[in-house]
Chains A and B, each alone.
Chain A
């Protein structure tokens, strides 16, 4: 397999190969120092390739698993317009997964292998999708808070040093900003609706707020990989920096919604010029990441089921293509 060829490093390198390595590393270092882009055929350090592959495939998996909590409401959407918007949104997420898997494939791993790792429970995806979407207002809160946090994280990724990733992120961010707006609009409509609707909206914001803040990852002093990613120009801002910016945006937007954030410790620190928030339950975060969230088993099982149930279809398509090629060859 291509990935094995690309990733295996012979134990001993000949002088010529060593020279190539040195030249490759020099070229890589120059590109990074110029804040320019690495492309798939460029030489890159093995650790850089691995880090990116892990990050991009996790991102792709998050899009795919992230389809589930929202797909859960497609059949029950309370108006036809909302149903159409939600369908289009979940469909976009499948599209994002596809771009991202393609970007990851340029690093030498096949989509099939990534999918295998996901359903075998070997790969991670954003932990937030292990929470249940129990009310219609969750469609609003997910769009506003979860996609909002994703945008904060992802806009800087449009400048990531790896070309295919950065370019995929440009398109994804455009669609995500539409997603966030539709989430905001759902909440606004509910907030201005009946008392029961407003309560539904507030309840959803209360439940999704903390998990959304935790989407930025552990605090900086507990995030071992961040430093290297920043040196490689993959990551541009630290977890805490992005989280603080996000809180600052939400605190203003929630006023327009006529709702509140479930955090009475939000304040702007005049000295650091940063937004601060109340403590987050990192113990819960770690537990959910470790598979103890309310929906971990359900989400993976659903993906596994779709994959397994579809196996005969994929086999049929491959077999049909093979026969067609054979026919063409014979003709």
Chain B
């Protein structure tokens, strides 16, 4: 058990329940006691409460000298922020190109949520080095980014985007759930806000995995292909290293490997619904070496950053 010792850790509460399906939150179609487990009035478009933590609030606290992460926490926040930022950049491309207008809205929402988390984490990380969120987003080079490879994988077709999102959402949910008990107050606060949003992302992607799996032959073929494309990047998400070991020790972070069992169980239940798990034989899919946390990236990130950073770099020092 490497999660921080904390009596309020919701993971403990989770373990006390007898209902495994509870762990999915609210999945609105398909699986077993569908919808019965979550908040029936849950809506992806629910307005965020006015008192929700905003990146601007963190920036203000930083300016007032009220919060400042130590070097380890800053590095950790940088990783989490980069994951969200790179994924938001990918998802943002879908807006105006989705299969249905409802999906333009949904994918846009998920992108916005991810960007919001990224802005908070990067603002906080930057406080350690006297850098703003924009300094970090726009003026670092490829090898300075700390995102895992999964996040930079191209959108592909809708199935690839959904398969990637499904993995990300289940991973982030387990991560943020534990981080709400972080000994670092700011990390805990960002995670608490993110957790609610990522829960909707799980619902959205699980619904689509079920639909594409159980829809037409074509959709089944595409979702199988999609999972084969993105699954090689799963292992990297759960790799521990010296930084995460130190943070788990202080209770500020968690060892990624500690999330794996719950991730496997919950994703496994969805993938087993239509027999996707057997067809995919996930355990036999070779896992990529990763390296994103050390700044070693695939060929994709360079293009993504070139597009994202071009305008800001044309006008260094400008305010927007």
Residue among B104, B119, B312 making CB contact with A94, cutoff 8 Å: B104
B101 CB, min distance to chain A CBs, angstroms: 5
B157-A196 in contact (CB<8A): no
A81-B108 in contact (CB<8A): no
CA distance A62 to B16 in the complex (A): 52
A315-B215 in contact (CB<8A): yes
Point out the residues of chain B lying under 8 angstroms from A271, CB to CB.
none
Point out the residues of chain B lying under 8 angstroms from A190, CB to CB.
320
Residue among B111, B116, B119, B312 making CB contact with A78, cutoff 8 Å: B312
Residue among A87, A101, A320 making CB contact with B211, cutoff 8 Å: A320
Q: Which of A77-117 contact B (CB under 8 A)?
A: 77-84, 87-88, 90-91, 94-95, 97-98, 101
Q: Is the interface of A mostly helix, strand, loop or mixed?
A: helix
B104-A67 in contact (CB<8A): yes
A323-B214 in contact (CB<8A): yes
**A314 contacts chain B at the CB level, 8 A cutoff:** yes
- Provide the B217-239 mask, 1 if CB < 8 A to any CB of A, else 0: 01100100000000000000000
Given contacts A84-B116, A316-B219, contact A78 B315 (CB under 8 A): yes
A310-B320 in contact (CB<8A): no
Given contacts A98-B105, A302-B97, A306-B96, contact A79 B218 (CB under 8 A): no
For chain B, the count of residues having a C-beta within 8 Å of the partner chain is: 52
CA distance A67 to B307 in the complex (A): 19
CA distance A302 to B216 in the complex (A): 25
Q: Which of B46-68 contact A (CB under 8 A)?
A: 55
Point out the residues of chain B lying under 8 angstroms from A149, CB to CB.
none
Listed stretches B7-15, B18-26, B87-95, B248-256; interface member: B87-95
**B174 contacts chain A at the CB level, 8 A cutoff:** no
Point out the residues of chain A lying under 8 angstroms from B109, CB to CB.
91
Given contacts A80-B118, A197-B315, contact A312 B222 (CB under 8 A): yes
Given contacts A76-B310, A315-B219, A320-B215, contact A88 B315 (CB under 8 A): no
Given contacts A80-B133, A310-B100, A317-B211, contact A87 B95 (CB under 8 A): yes
**B137 contacts chain A at the CB level, 8 A cutoff:** yes
B311-A78 in contact (CB<8A): yes
CA distance A176 to B93 in the complex (A): 23
B77 CB, min distance to chain A CBs, angstroms: 15
Point out the residues of chain B lying under 8 angstroms from A309, CB to CB.
97, 99, 157-158
B92-A83 in contact (CB<8A): yes
B104-A91 in contact (CB<8A): yes
Point out the residues of chain B lying under 8 angstroms from A128, CB to CB.
none
Given contacts A306-B97, A309-B157, contact A320 B214 (CB under 8 A): yes
CA distance A44 to B195 in the complex (A): 50
Given contacts A91-B108, A319-B216, contact A80 B95 (CB under 8 A): no
Q: Which residue of A lies closest to B157 (CB)?
A: A309
B92-A97 in contact (CB<8A): no
**A324 contacts chain B at the CB level, 8 A cutoff:** yes
CA distance A173 to B320 in the complex (A): 26
CA distance A315 to B105 in the complex (A): 19
**A152 contacts chain B at the CB level, 8 A cutoff:** no
Given contacts A76-B310, A97-B101, A314-B100, contact A88 B112 (CB under 8 A): yes
Point out the residues of chain B lying under 8 angstroms from A98, CB to CB.
101-102, 105
B36 CB, min distance to chain A CBs, angstroms: 15
- Provide the B295-320 mask, 1 if CB < 8 A to any CB of A, else 0: 00000000000011011100100111
A74-B92 in contact (CB<8A): yes
Point out the residues of chain B lying under 8 angstroms from A302, CB to CB.
96-97
Point out the residues of chain A lying under 8 angstroms from B262, CB to CB.
none
Given contacts A94-B95, A94-B104, A306-B99, contact A75 B308 (CB under 8 A): yes
Residue among A68, A76, A81, A196 making CB contact with B315, cutoff 8 Å: A196
**B115 contacts chain A at the CB level, 8 A cutoff:** yes
**A136 contacts chain B at the CB level, 8 A cutoff:** yes
CA distance A82 to B98 in the complex (A): 22
Q: Which residue of A lies closest to B90 (CB)?
A: A75
CA distance A136 to B318 in the complex (A): 13
Q: Which residue of A lies closest to B308 (CB)?
A: A75
Given contacts A194-B315, A316-B212, contact A91 B134 (CB under 8 A): no
Q: Which of B61-91 contact A (CB under 8 A)?
A: 85, 88-89
**A193 contacts chain B at the CB level, 8 A cutoff:** yes
**B175 contacts chain A at the CB level, 8 A cutoff:** no
A78-B320 in contact (CB<8A): yes
Given A88-B108, A194-B315, 13 other A-B residues pairs in contact with their CB atoms under 8 A: A67-B96, A84-B115, A91-B95, A190-B320, A194-B318, A313-B99, A313-B158, A314-B99, A314-B100, A319-B216, A320-B210, A320-B211, A320-B215
List 6 A-B residue pairs with CB atoms under 8 Å apart, sorted by A's residue number. A81-B119, A83-B92, A84-B119, A91-B105, A313-B219, A323-B214
Among all A-B residue pairs, the 5 with the closest Cβ atoms: A310-B99, A316-B215, A316-B219, A91-B108, A313-B99
